[in-house]
Structure 1
Amino acid sequence: MTLTSRQLESLDTGMNLSVTAGAGSGKTKVLVERYLSILRGEEDVLPSNILALTFTEKASLEMRERIMREVQALSDEEGGRWIRVREDLEAADIATIHGFCTGLIRTEGLSMGIDPDFGVLNETEITSILSDIINGMFTTPGPESPALRRLIVDLGQWRVVKLLKSLIRDRAKLPHDIGSSGLKEASVLFHRKAAEEMMSSALEGLDGIMPHLERLSVMGLPHAESDSGVKLLRGLSGVLSAVREGRTRREILEALHGARSFLLTRSGSPRSVNSLGNSRVWGADHREMKDSVKAVSIFVSEHGSILPFIGNPSLLERAERRLLDVITVLEALHSRYAREKNRINSMDFDDQISLAVRMLEEDGGILRKMRRRYTHILLDEFQDTDPRQWRIAELLWNGGESCRLFMVGDPKQSIYGFRSADVRLFLEASSMLEGHEEGKVVVLDRNFRSAFEIMEFVNGIFPGLMGTDRNRWSVPFDPLDAHRGPGGSVTVVSVIGSRRSEEREGRKAADLIMRAMREWKVMDEDGPRDARFSDIAILVPTRTGFDRYEDALRNASIPYRVYNSGGFFRRQEVKDVLELLNFLVDQNDDIALASVLKGPFFSLSDEDLMSVSLSDGSTLWEKLGRNEAFRGSHDLLERFIDMSFRSEPCMVLAEIFSATGVHATAGGRRQYRNLDRILEWTADPRNGTSVAELRDSLARLVEDPPKEGEPQFFVEDEVVTLLTIHAAKGLEWPIVFILGLEHEGRKNESPTCIISQDDGIAMKVLDTGSGDYLRTPAYEKAARDAELKEAEEKKRVFYVACTRARDHLVLSGAIPVRRNGMEGEPKGMMKLLVDGMDLSFHDMEEGQKEIGRMVVDIVRVSGDSVEELVEEEEEEDREPLSTTPELSIQTDCGVIPAKGRGFLSPTGEEVSEILGVAIDDDRTRTPRAAGNDGPAPFELGEMVHRVLEGIPVERVVREYGYPDLAGPISMMSSDMAEQVKALGPGVGFREVEFVGYLESGGEKHPLKGRVDLLVIDDEGNALIVDYKTGKRRKEHEAQLEAYVRMIEPLAGGSVRSTVVSPGDDNNVHE
């Protein structure tokens, strides 16, 4: 690749540079060329004089291999110095920051009394050590015991354990080291200062709403006790009395806290005043009353966290004491943890960073040695750096006195805040270098990866998302020029409905994947070629819905693989194995045995389990042995128990998997792979050499899964890859699907304490009067800042996802629509997409939207049983079904009720069962084969139905992804429409919903249904018309018979039914 002028500017080895490298701008190429330029331009510099730090092992390996290829070629061509360079390159420091720190400690640690042969703890070992230490603190008295007892009384043992583990694991986020006076001082100062600031803000804000409170206090209440406005003001009587009596501002604030339930929703938001009070009751005061209540509600919502402490200042004192208790116990835990690691000569990843910083700060000899060694420092992915890692680089760089600094990254791709990465460091360091006399900032603004359409889309939507909210976590958006020309596409799939449907979304994604295999081209070095499965990645924000997406891929016979790390230990198969191990360790564990019997290993039903539980015996295991019907299950488990005492754990599980035939259960292909992964994990002796040890290791991982690691991909595998967006960072594919954009991850219980990266630890406090855990002002301030940080990072995650695509990008997510047809608020990244595109329901109906100089295709998918959930005014866009003077078609039928609480929508099979009618044996829907280019039968029926409802055929086939079927669908619909015309005179009502009772066997079954068309003639007789494009089955006939029986008592005349199908010679079949 020929270097651009900006890339060439990045090779100025005489300058300290900060390079902002947008997605696909050739960052790795520039990094490698910078390294080679140093070697070419400085004769006395060898690879061992260059420190190159990357974010991942994969990146460091790739960089080393590229440099080695170039150096090998130069060595072969020129010899001389390059031979020495090649030999020196073997020991060059091209590593991750953890790799560099490990090497530094092993080579220089002896001077600080560190054994260089130390081990590095994995997640399982860390969890085990912490659990043992905390349990020891509970049972063995120590200086921290009084503080620990107070915490247990207030929080409970479970919360204390969770709190301490999280603080130890996240200690890299703390502004000061645990054990230093700085942490305690900073946290207490934060606690006090936040309270003062929020108190001052509340008092100032009260001045702003006093006119509203005064108006409400003198407003006469109408004589209408049931009026909602009257009820609310009676609820505020304490507040309004305090205002009338001229109480102090603190007393008014205390009264407002007592009345908060009248002013806020359960989530703490201001209550809506839209329907507050009746205007006829309130008269001229109505508007003023609503405005004043709204202003007061907003005030209480904004300042609610400080109000509980105004009338009870001792709560703040109690919170400060508990904060000091937490720090005291944390220091004790940290000290014991350090002693245990020292005893076993091990350290964790955080230790490596912090120890390296300490060595460089405290040992001048080590620092001078490192500064003499390195003449250049290259930092890759600098946007993912945390403060301690940056401190290492700062110490070595020494303000430019010791070496040249080159850092490259993209703040728009900083998505690892949960790993302590601080995007502000990139901006601050860039600003520092820009002001340095030998420093400058370079922006790489040309994208070489993605097609013109994708870059036009990215440049079109992200300026309105990034940098618009000026806060300390936001980053500006720098547009990228597209190096590539047209040839790609962007498609948005909007799943419309009042509830989520990953099944429907996954099915549409599978359809689009098969369409991509048929129609889409991807660009290679040799030009365009047909797409392959290995060209495709499916990215998701979280693992929510993974199983349903997998089901959709399997049903479409699409080969795929899932990359999992921590998420693997949340899979049901893993939990099933854990319950099995629990039982093998303890046969008295009834819960574990019940789970094993009901799970995939034995698949007993609830009735079977009930039968076992009624047998004689004191435990479920004894009862199982005495129940003859399940003797085989008991004997098999007894054999497994015996094996567990004399065989390796992995051999025991392998035998269990084989003997129970678990691979043949539903979802067996996925289970087969996951169970094999479990066997691989159990074969590692570090996870346990006995069933009991293995159980303990697995239990810890299920409770606290490891963080997501780095994926390993093999591009030669012809499969679609399914993974999270975070795992896809740094990777690219020709075709990228981003599914489930609305998912935001699981909202865990709000923690008892929270870390502010700038200010320290903040606590909740127990209000002993109410039993509630209240957010202190410091906690509230830290939580708001964390929410702001998370919101900004979500934008960057979305950017990373979109820029993984080279040729084609598909974005899919849910847009909620309530049952009344009104639009809901999209969530997660789907809201970002809707806002960035300014996407409307009209755009979705049109099926296209211009973004810049390209057009985004929009596919609309219904996530509900309700077919049309669009705004009422858009109904005018429909073309009505052709009518004649003999038969007119309308959309509103008033003779049949359409709503009924408790009424069920039956399937044809359920109706057949009620009526006692036999059904076809081949009724199971057969999924379409992967090689079939046409729509599945149900999709064909849906498309014809929608055209007969009046939706233009071009729009329908475009939504379903079959634009070439417009002609056939139109012919089928027209044929059926002609048959409808021939039904005779009357009025036809389309898509009629009704409720009624189906009588059978002396019982009334409350059901509801929907008919495609209901025709009522001049005499009041009704004809039910059912559109059918597929095979007629007996259960369909039963359903029509049920509809006739249910509608007859409602319609007032005779009721018949008929089926209209395309291509019927006899037209109408009754």
Structure 2
Amino acid sequence: MSQPTPQQRQAIDARGAILLTAGAGTGKTATLVQRCLRLVIEAGVDIDRLLVVTFTNAAAAEMKQRLREALRHAATQPDAPEALQRQLLLLEAAPIATLHSFCLDLIRTHFAELHLDPAVAVLDESLATPLARQTARRLALDALANDPDTRTLADHYCQARIDPLVDLLLETHRFFVAQPRAARCLDAQLNRFEPLAPNAWNPLRPSMFTAWLLESAPAVRTQIPLTIEGIEQDRNFAGKSPTGEGLRHLTTLLPSLIPLLDPLPNDATIADWTRRLDALLAFADDSLWARGSKKHRGCLEDFLEDVALLRTWCPTDGLDPLDVEWTAARAPMSALLRLARQFATAFTDAKRALGGVDFADLEQLALELLTDPEGRPTPVALEWRERFEHVFVDECQDINPAQEAILQALARHGEHANLFMVGDVKQSIYRFRMAAPDLFQRHLRQWPALPHHQVLPLTENFRSRAGIVAFVNALFDTLMQPRLGDVGYGPADRLAFALPDRRAPLSLHPPEGQGPQGAAPDPDCRVELHLIREVANATASADTGADDSGADPWEDLLELERQAHVIAARLRELMDGQHQVWDRTTHTFRPMTWNDVGILLRSVSGRSGPFLREFRRRAIPLSVEQGDFLDTLEASDLTSLLRLLDNPRQDIPLFAVLRSPWFGWSLDQLVQLRLAGAHGDAWERLEHAAQQRNAHGQAARDFLQTLERWRRLALMSSLTCVLETALAETRYEAFLLTLPDGPDRVANVRRYLDLARRYDPLQRQGLFRFLRFLDDQRDAGREIDPLPPRRADAVQWMSIHKSKGLEFPVVVVAGLSAPFHFPASKAPLILSRTVGPAPQFVDLPARRRHESLVLWHARREERAASLAEELRLLYVAVTRARDTLILVGACKPESRTWIERTSLPPAAGVPRALRATEWIGLWLGGSLDGSIDSGEATFGEEPDTARLRWHFHAGTLEPREPSPSPGDPDLPPDDASARMPSLDLTPAKDPASLIPAKTSASALRRLGPEPDAEAAPAVKPRHRPFPAARPRDDAPGSPTRIGTAHHLFLQHLDLTPEPSDTHLHEHARTLVTRGILRDSDLPHLDLAAIAHFWRSPLGAEIRTHALRVRRELPFTAAFHPSELPAFATTPPPDPDEFIVVQGAVDLAVLLPTETWLVDFKTDHITLEEIESRAADHRHQLQLYATALERIHRRPVTRSVLHFLHPRHTWSALPA
């Protein structure tokens, strides 16, 4: 390590308990190593008396290696003490390891106190996971048979199915074992739900209200001046009219809302909160908002809706809604917690029977040794405290509460405090592993006020050039807010460009002659933003439900394919232009190599294909993070074989095995199999083919005989034995060796066999359980055996999580427009660290479900935590870059959604964002002009100016000639064409196969059996040219476009002013200016018909309830097939079968006790045709009404179709 900076020197020499907040690239590992060396060399502390806890085994190995090299270097100095040689010997046994490794050593040392086998081992996850699921399933089935409360739990929260109940039980166990003293914590929660216990949610209500107000107030405080400013502008036009006076009154009244945003005292009662909510609710009064003023409410709209909702959870007329919700939740929650306690005991017994523990056991058993039931240190803890002179913790932002308790038990306190914790909460990205970054934040707040405690910063960035450092500071100074995950971006978080004198060529203004290629100053902007305009046709189709089958095939490319195209083109441009990067070894600039580039994505699973294809086309070598080896082709072959052995009547595994090297069937043979029988599934057709006396029949008989023999072997032998037999008989591995990367492929087969061998002790569970284990691992995003990249001299492609700790001269962050995932948004039950189990309110006899207060609170917590993690992932991604940073995503810069979300003030816009591109657009604000293709934005003031160059790319790609397929020599194209009329690929008509799992409301009108003669051929001739383009459905003047334009106009129309002709024409021009409508739409808008509706009695009545009007209201609801006329002719489905239907209602009025529904139609019909046309839409309107009644729990009392052209309203309900 070079000479430490003043910040590093302060951290190296500091005494007491130290929390070192180390930003990205600030040399935290080097600082930690130097502190250890100072203690060993200068203070004479033996290195085996330093406990160094790392996050991964790789980090522990790196730490040991750095210490080894430093000690060896120090030992060669002339004045080096002889004791350094002893320290080198002690280093090999020094406790430098992960926390789990230390806990295992602790447990083995004290096995007698824990009544464990001294040789206790950690169970492999491939063994522990299926064992846990088997145990949970057995307990759940028993509880369902004997406990009514468990049946209620399953009915209310698990769709009355066993698998969701097992998943919930395992999730509950995982939640509690991450807490200190898991059993004690579980018992405490269970005691809260005991029959005689008081309502445990009542005391939490004020704190939940306070949390909501603290979270919402910053955005509202920012919004109020903006609202007043907008109203003042309207007031200038209104003058001294009644409207103008109303606006003036409103502007004088709105500032009085600000004091109401201050939280109430901690001892405030529910009565105090009721009065506060009533005061806030007064600002939602329609009479207060003068005509035309509501459009300026911004985030006030959502805030006032929250106020109204929270008011419903306050006691009224002696009835407390929270008591009702508590009473309904008590029994099922007690059942869940009792089941979790039983599972913990049963699972522990099962693990002990195998002589092992899992990772959660390591933490809980260590805590049992180190702390008593009250959390105080035990004699064992005091003994280990004396062993360690100092305790170091790396990456402390990613520990959970149980791990925190272990570290506090091992560390000394008071004047002898010896805990040194290093971390950066901005890089905490492991919530899925139960990491709790709030623990780090608590230390950050509390330690400065404690004696013998210090919080020290490391902010000098040694990794990135000054332009990237300035960009990071400018971006996250806007985006990171304390209200979002309690992570701000203050002065102690801002990165500084380290060693500006020694790294002058990388500064914002390098000295003359020291920039890339000798240029001065650096002409390159090293931060780029590439946004791909989303295809207009696809957008219109998504919005209107129109058929887009006539679109250009190249416009249907997936977003990731378009991004791969842009990224590959840009990287090829950089390489051909000899893009300059800084060489740390020679301290000069050099041309970029492919190995200098890293492409990072939020998630990589199943996303490598577009990149591999596009990079191969441009001759760019790409090394793809293999991730889970189960995704490789050879592992897929093995899994398909096991699925077939478990259940042969599965078409996809059957064809996969037949086509694979196991049996090597050609495409021609597979076609013959489909022709072998007119009915039945693939297995029945295979049995039919086996009866033929020809070569194809012989191949089918050979396959059936081999498979039957392997299936019998699977019943009698282990899983490993079956696989080894199949591999030996087919010489599968010998075949793999003939392929590119043959040795790697064989190694993957060996990995798969090792995995199966670890599962053999649980063989009694059957193949299905092993396959379920594989599916569970994939669903949870856990990698069973990650593979290293196969190519070193290539562009590196990996997940952001895998990139943590790495750096690249050129970083491409792709997929920034992928929507954020909020798994808790639909969950009927959430486990919260603040309120415990938070269930939905369910009253099955009354068929009522709604969000309880605790669930509403928990969902807001989870959403904020998920958004904060996404923000931290973005921070980790952009701080991997040393020289050049390229950001890539897609957007619709002209769309209403993009404009609204990116024009909000940051306090309101950051929490509302649904993807990272919206955050970047919010930061750029008006600097991002979607009407031109490229530009540059500059932020900040000298000397910390941030520059960013942005580019918009078309959402379409030029068609490329398809590469000829090698095909199958046994099946010429002409032969395939000749067989098309007789080739029946229609599956057997099982009732379930005729019913979709999910559909849209508009698609239901098109569903229904079609004559087979009208079906399109299933196989198309090869090398078929693209069909000629047909007229687009959204062409100006087309019926689809006219309907879309009218619906967009009605969706955005302000209902406050009178619908005069002038107002409607101005509104239309405004929509064109905002990019919502096109100029070509204006001649086709029937504004007179629209005005007629809003002046009609129904329209006028709707306008009186403008605050409760919802337009384009989306819904998702479940229906039994028998409820949908489209499936009236299908065979009777299973009683438990259901279809998820999604749609959007043109206009709904959500009144307190009823709902009105209006569906607009733009058909050009006469009055005589209305009844017949209405009959076509009757069922769709009925579906809308049923969905709204189920979701909003109030009857639909008005349900109408309004035909704009004939100006007629048709009611679906009797008057």
For 2:648, the equivalent position in structure 1 comes to 587
- Counterpart in 2 of 1:481? 496
Q: Is 2:938 the partner of 1:863?
A: no
2:471 is aligned to 457
Q: Which amino acid aligns with 1:170?
A: F
Q: Quote the residue 2:563 is aligned against.
A: 505
Aligned residues of 1:187 and 1:762 also touching (Cα < 8 A): no
Residue aligned with 2:412, SS: helix
Task: Render the CA deviation track for 1:119-146: whole Å, top value 9, x for unaligned.
Answer: 2123322221122212322454699744
Structure 2 match to 1:74: 74
Question: What is the CA distance between 1:539 and its match in structure 2?
Answer: 0.4
8 Å CA contact 2:181–2:367 kept in 1: the answer is no
User: In 1, are the aligned partners of 2:580 and 2:590 still within 8 Å (CA)?
Assistant: yes
Match of 1:1024 in 2: none
Q: Which residue of 2 aligns with 1:386?
A: 400
Does 2:567 align with 1:523?
A: no
SS of the residue 2:391 aligns to: strand
| Pair 676,555 (structure 1): closer, same or farther in 2 beyond 3 Å | farther
Once the two structures are superposed, residues 472-502 of structure 1 have per-residue CA deviations (whole angstroms, 9 ceiling, x without a partner) of 4556462111134245711111111145621
Which residue identity does 1:58 align to in structure 2?
A
| Residue in structure 1 matched with residue 248 of structure 2 by the alignment | none
Query: What SS does the aligned partner of 1:30 have?
Result: helix
Following superposition, the deviation at residue 100 of structure 1 comes to 1.2
Q: Partner residue of 1:366?
A: 380
Cα distance in 2, alignment partners of residues 761 and 613 from structure 1: 54
Q: Is the 8 A contact 1:587 1:593 kept in 2?
A: yes
Contact map agreement 2:891 2:917 (CA 8 A) in 1:
yes
Distance 2:610 2:808 in 1: 23
Partner in structure 2 of residue 737 of structure 1: 812
SS at match of 2:116: coil
Paired residue secondary structure (1:847): strand
Instruction: Give 1:26 shift.
Output: 0.8
Between the aligned partners of 1:68 and 1:444, the Cα distance in structure 2 is 24
Aligned Cα RMSD in Å?
Answer: 4.7
SS of the counterpart of 1:506?
Answer: helix
What residue in structure 1 maps to residue 152 of structure 2? Answer: 150
Secondary structure at the residue paired with 2:429? coil
Counterpart among 332, 346, 351 of residue 341 in structure 1: 351
**Are 2:11 and 1:10 equivalent residues in the alignment?**
yes
**2:128 aligns to what?**
126
Which among 106, 112, 115 is matched to residue 113 of structure 1? 115
* SS of equivalent residue, structure 1 residue 730: coil
What is the rounded CA distance, in whole Å, between the counterparts of 1:920 and 1:128 in structure 2? Answer: 45
CA offsets, 1:905-940, max 9 Å, x none?
xxxxxxxxx9xxxx998989xxxxxxxxxxxxxxxx
Which of 743, 747, 762 is residue 838 of structure 2 equivalent to? 762
Q: 1:660 to 1:109 in 2, by over 3 A?
A: closer
Alignment of 1:292-691 (within 5 A): 299-300=304-305, 304=309, 314-362=324-372, 364-467=378-481, 469=483, 472=486, 474=488, 476=490, 478-483=493-498, 484=503, 485-486=506-507, 489-498=526-535, 501-518=559-576, 519-524=578-583, 525-526=585-586, 527-543=588-604, 545-565=607-627, 569=630, 577-589=638-650, 592-593=653-654, 610-614=674-678, 619-626=684-691, 632-633=699-700, 635-636=702-703, 638-639=705-706, 641-642=708-709, 645=713, 648-651=721-724, 654=727, 677=748, 679-688=750-759
Conserved in 1, the CA contact under 8 Å of 2:322 and 2:853? no
Structure 1 residues 855 and 316: alpha-carbon distance in aligned structure 2, compared to 1, 3 A threshold: same
Aligned residues of 2:8 and 2:458 also touching (Cα < 8 A): yes
Question: What residue number does 1:789 align with?
Answer: 865
The 2-side partners of 1:569 and 1:550 are apart by 19
1:726 aligns to what?
A: 801
The equivalences for 1:82-97 within 5 A come to 82-97=84-99
- What SS does the aligned partner of 1:508 have? helix
Identify if the C-alpha distance between structure 1 residues 661 and 636 changes in structure 2 by more than 3 Å, giving closer, same or farther.
farther
| Aligned residue in 2 for 1:1019 | none
Q: Residues of 1 paired with 2:645 and 2:370: CA distance? A: 51
- Hey, what's the Cα distance between the residues in 2 that align with 1:51 and 1:322? 45
State the shift of 1:438 in Å: 2.7
Deviation of 1:511 (Å) = 1.6
1:798 offset after TM fit, Å?
A: 0.6
8 Å CA contact 1:497, 1:863 repeated in 2: yes
Q: Secondary structure at the match of 2:827?
A: coil
Match for 1:328: what amino acid? R
How far off its partner does 1:728 sit?
1.0
Change (3 A) 1:58 1:744: farther
User: What is the CA-CA distance between 1:285 and the residue it aligns to?
Assistant: 9.3
Q: Which moved more, 1:327-336 or 1:166-175?
A: 166-175
Alignment of 1:243-282 (within 5 A): none
CA distance in 2, matches of 1:104, 1:344: 20
Q: Distance in 1 between matches of 2:781 and 2:746?
A: 21
CA distance in 2, matches of 1:682, 1:920: 39
Cα distance in 2 between the residues matched to 1:293 and 1:87: 67
Distance in 1, matches of 2:929 and 2:347, equals 57
1:332 Cα deviation from its structure 2 partner:
1.0
- How far is the alpha carbon of 1:831 from its aligned partner? 1.7
Normalised by the size of structure 2, how large is the TM-score?
0.59
Q: Tell me, in whole angstroms, the C-alpha distance in 2 between the residues paired with 1:866 and 1:818.
A: 23
Q: Give the TM-score, by structure 1 length.
A: 0.67
Aligned match of 1:834: 921
Structure 1 residues 837 and 585, CA, compared in 2 at 3 Å: closer, same or farther? Answer: same
The letter for the 2-side match of 1:623 is: H
| Partner amino acid, structure 1, of 2:602 | P
Residues 1:843 and 1:142: Cα distance change in structure 2 (over 3 Å): closer
Q: Deviation at 1:542? A: 1.7
Q: What corresponds to 2:933 in structure 1?
A: 845
Matched to 2:534, the amino acid is G
Question: 1:305, 1:775 within 8 Å by CA — same for their partners in 2?
Answer: no
Q: Does the Cα contact within 8 Å between 2:641 and 2:653 map onto a contact in 1? A: yes
Deviation at 1:65, TM superposition (A): 0.5
Corresponding residue number in structure 2 for 1:700:
773
Q: Confirm or deny: 8 A CA contact 1:505 1:861 kept in the other structure.
A: no
Distance 2:634 2:87 in 1: 51
Q: CA offsets, 1:227-263, max 9 Å, x none?
A: xxxxxxxxxxxxxxxxxxxxxx99xx9xxxxxxxxxx
Indicate conservation of the 8 Å contact 1:708/1:727, yes or no.
Answer: no
CA distance, structure 1, for counterparts of residue 701 and residue 311 of structure 2: 60
Deviation at 1:35, TM superposition (A): 0.3
| Segment of structure 1 superposing worse, 734-743 or 435-444 | 435-444
In the alignment, structure 2 segments of 5+ residues that lack a partner are: 214-219, 221-269, 275-283, 314-318, 508-515, 517-523, 539-557, 902-912, 960-1002, 1004-1015, 1027-1078, 1082-1215
Q: What corresponds to 1:98 in structure 2? A: 100
The structural deviation recorded for 1:62 is 0.5
Distance 1:290 1:851 in 2: 31
Deviation at 1:393, TM superposition (A): 2.0
Q: Quick one: structure 1 residues 106 and 421, their matched pair in 2 at CA, closer, same or farther if it must change by over 3 Å?
A: same
Identity among equivalent pairs (%): 23
Q: Is the 8 A contact 1:163 1:752 kept in 2?
A: no
Give the Cα separation in 2 of the matches to 1:72 and 1:200: 57
What is the alpha-carbon distance in structure 1 between the residues aligned to residue 597 and residue 55 of structure 2? 25
1:366 to partner: Cα distance: 1.2
Shift of 1:194: 5.1
Q: How far has the Cα of 1:514 moved from its partner?
A: 2.0
Sort the Cα spacing of 1:815 and 1:611 in 2 relative to 1 into closer, same or farther, 3 A: same
Q: Which moved more, 1:524-533 or 1:93-102?
A: 524-533
Q: Give the gaps of 5 or more residues in structure 1.
A: 209-248, 254-269, 274-281, 868-900, 902-913, 925-990, 994-1070
